[in-house]
Amino acid sequence: MAEEMRLMKGNEAIAEAAIRAGCTAYFGYPITPQNELTAYMAKHMLDHQRTFIQAESEVSAINMVYGAAAAGARTMTSSSSPGVSLKQEGISYCCGADLPCVIVNVARSGPGLGGISPGQADYFQSTRGGGHGDYFHLVLAPKSVQEAADLTHEAFDLADQWRMPVMILADGLIGQMMEGVVLPENRELSSLPKKAWAAGGQADTHRPINHVSSINLVPAELEASVIERFKRYDRIKAQEVRYEEVNVDKAELILVGYGTSARVSLGALEMAKKLGIEVGLFRPISLWPFPEKRVAELAAMGKKFLAVEMSMGQMVEDVKLAANGKADVHFYGRCGGMIPTEEEVLAEIRRLLKK
């Protein structure tokens, strides 16, 4: 039976999508602007006889995730920027031990305690392996409540498939706003992938014992395992790149933005069109892996780029790396919880194109 469209907050849609994806263990700690997510989980995970714990800190929450993932569960934690900083140690351990899990960052503005208004200044932390060591993990950035639900649902499959954490990088606006959403399908727990590597359940199969660990004190062995993991990263780069394009063929200038700033950019694009100015929009959905090949192709076609962000310029560095000197890459950003307006972006477009 087809699902009806419902009006939901982004935070609640993410929570419900996680439950429907078969998340059986959620661990969180209160922080604005993601509190509705934790509250929704508190009610509905318990209603489903699944595990919900309000942890004593984000540090504990991510390490509960580590344990639950090690024991084979679909598991998730959510937070906002300062809390996600605290999770970085645990995320590094999850990556080192190849543990699947989902981490939601409903980002706010920083640094430090910063503010509770939406921000996109956690891009570097999210896409560069924010903890210690050589690692990456998938990062998906939704632009709407619908996409937040869909990507969260899919994140659990991707985490299991690639055996790594998947981060949903939203922001306070996506988390707080209400939109219509058709919720993703409910997964039967019995249909979820079996995890032969997980701890526990040995009595069922009498398999050899399993160890979930990230330690290896033999440099040559550790190097070999990191290199092996990077080969997996190459396969992910080949298979999991996601992006959306609007009007890039006709445009001389392409706006590049993700999440909320992509919505603003789309508005600016439409305003420009009314003035007879053709601009395009390139919206990375996977921030890691970044759609670098496509940006390089567009650069080779002679396009110019204008990266629009709610930060002092982070994603723009990936655009520059991908363009590799073959295109002009400009930047327009607001920070501190300020959201660029369509008018501001339009003015920047007109300034750059001298139109």
Partner 1 sequence: MELLYGHPKSLKPIQTKYCPGCGHGVIHRLIAEVIDELGVQERSIITNPVGCSIWADLYFDFDSVQPAHGRTPAAATGIKRVKPDHLVICYQGDGDLAAIGTAEIIHAANRGEKFTTIFVNNAIYGMTGGQMAPTTLIGQKATTAPYGRDALEAGMGYPIQVCELLATLGGTKYLARGSVNNAANVRKTKQYIKKAFEAQLRGEGFTMVEILSPCPTNWGMQPCEGQEWLEANMIPFYKLGEVKNTLAAGAGAEGGSK
CB of 16 to partner 1, least distance (A): 21
- For partner 1, which residue of 10, 28, 33, 72 counts as binding (CB under 8 A)? 72
The single residue listed with the structure tokens 């190097």 is 223
Q: Which residues of 199-230 are buried (b: 16+ CB within 10 A; e: fewer)?
A: eeeeeeeeeeebebebeeeeeeeeeeeeeebe
Q: Quick check: 103 and 76 in contact, CB under 8 A?
A: yes
- For partner 1, which residue of 1, 203, 218, 220 counts as binding (CB under 8 A)? 203
User: Does 214 participate in binding partner 1 (rule CB under 8 A)?
Assistant: yes
Strands 138-140 and 286-288: antiparallel
Q: Largest Cα–Cα distance in the chain?
A: 72
User: Does 190 participate in binding partner 1 (rule CB under 8 A)?
Assistant: no
Extract the tokens encoding 210.
């399993």
Closer CB to partner 1, residue 45 or residue 279? Answer: 45
CB of 183 to partner 1, least distance (A): 25
User: Does 45 participate in binding partner 1 (rule CB under 8 A)?
Assistant: no
Closer CB to partner 1, residue 57 or residue 341? Answer: 57
The single residue listed with the structure tokens 């080969």 is 231
Alpha-carbon gap, residue 64 to 101, rounded angstroms: 11
Alpha-carbon gap, residue 38 to 104, rounded angstroms: 11
CB of 163 to partner 1, least distance (A): 15
Q: Which residues from 73-102 bind partner 1, rule CB under 8 A?
A: 73, 75, 89-90, 93, 97
CA angle 87, 89, 91 (to 5 degrees): 65
Q: Quick check: 139 and 286 in contact, CB under 8 A?
A: yes
- φ and ψ of 170, to 5 deg: -105, -170
Angstrom CA distances, 39 to 54, 228, 298, 353, stand at 10, 39, 43, 47
Residues binding partner 1: number (CB under 8 A): 40
User: Does 215 participate in binding partner 1 (rule CB under 8 A)?
Assistant: yes
User: Does 333 participate in binding partner 1 (rule CB under 8 A)?
Assistant: no
CB of 224 to partner 1, least distance (A): 19
Query: Is residue 312 classed as helix, strand or coil in its secondary structure?
Result: coil
CB of 324 to partner 1, least distance (A): 38
Closer CB to partner 1, residue 29 or residue 331? Answer: 29
CB of 185 to partner 1, least distance (A): 23
Q: Which residues from 50-69 bind partner 1, rule CB under 8 A?
A: 51, 53, 55-57, 59-61, 63-69
- Residues at the interface with partner 1 (CB under 8 A): 24-25, 27, 51, 53, 55-57, 59-61, 63-73, 75, 89-90, 93, 97, 199-203, 206, 209-215
